[in-house]
Amino acid sequence: MAGPARITDGPERALVENMLDRNRAALIETAKGLSENESRRQLVVSATTPIGLVKHAAVAERFWFQRFLSGLSESECDGSASPGTESFAVADDETLESVIAEFERACARSREIAAGMELDDTKPNSRGEAVSLRWVYLHMIEELARHAGHGDILREQIVAERTR
């Protein structure tokens, strides 16, 4: 896997941020090198595609870091920050390269936002529960690991079809 080297010891924040960045890189790797057509292949009943997983991840980054933690409105975000099934939709004029770049920009902005916070800093969610930066990090690790797994399976199917 490309991306940051794995660290296994050190301060909690460094470990959590490293794990998040490694999952971000793992998701990108599931789509990198696929053709445009391959990246849009729908091999499951849902609208999940390799490019769609990366697009969805960019939306999740913006939702949790820009909207939730920073309190920005949707229009102030650097792209869609509305989660849901439509977050997997990729426009015809978007390329795999442009969607990966969009995700990388969203990740960079997430890092900037988080840098100004402590792990224990909280914001109230829509139910009035306190949600910490630590929880957002852990949630994003969970989400990206799950989607990287989906991407691995899709990529495996696509690559296997090339060799038939």
What is the full DSSP assignment across 98-109? HHHHHHHHHHHH
Nearest Cα neighbor of 17 from 99, 92, 118 is 118
The average pLDDT across 20-42 equals 97
Q: Domain 12-162 maps to which CATH number in 3.40.190.10, 1.20.120.450, 2.60.98.20, 3.40.50.300?
A: 1.20.120.450
pLDDT value at position 164? 77
pLDDT grade for 100, boundaries at 50, 70 and 90:
very high
- Convert the pLDDT of each residue in 7-25 to its tens digit: 999 999 999 999 999 999 9
Sign of CA dihedral 141, 144, 150, 156: negative
- Kindly state the percentage of the chain with pLDDT values over 70: 99
pLDDT grade for 3, boundaries at 50, 70 and 90:
confident
The average pLDDT across 23-38 equals 97
Q: Is the pLDDT of residue 41 over 60?
A: yes
pLDDT grade for 47, boundaries at 50, 70 and 90:
confident
Q: Where are the domains of the chain?
A: 12-162
The average pLDDT across 130-147 equals 98
**How far is 92 from 40, CA to CA, in rounded Å?**
10
- Convert the pLDDT of each residue in 48-78 to its tens digit: 999 999 999 999 999 999 999 999 999 999 9
Q: Is the pLDDT of residue 1 over 70?
A: no
Length of the chain: 164
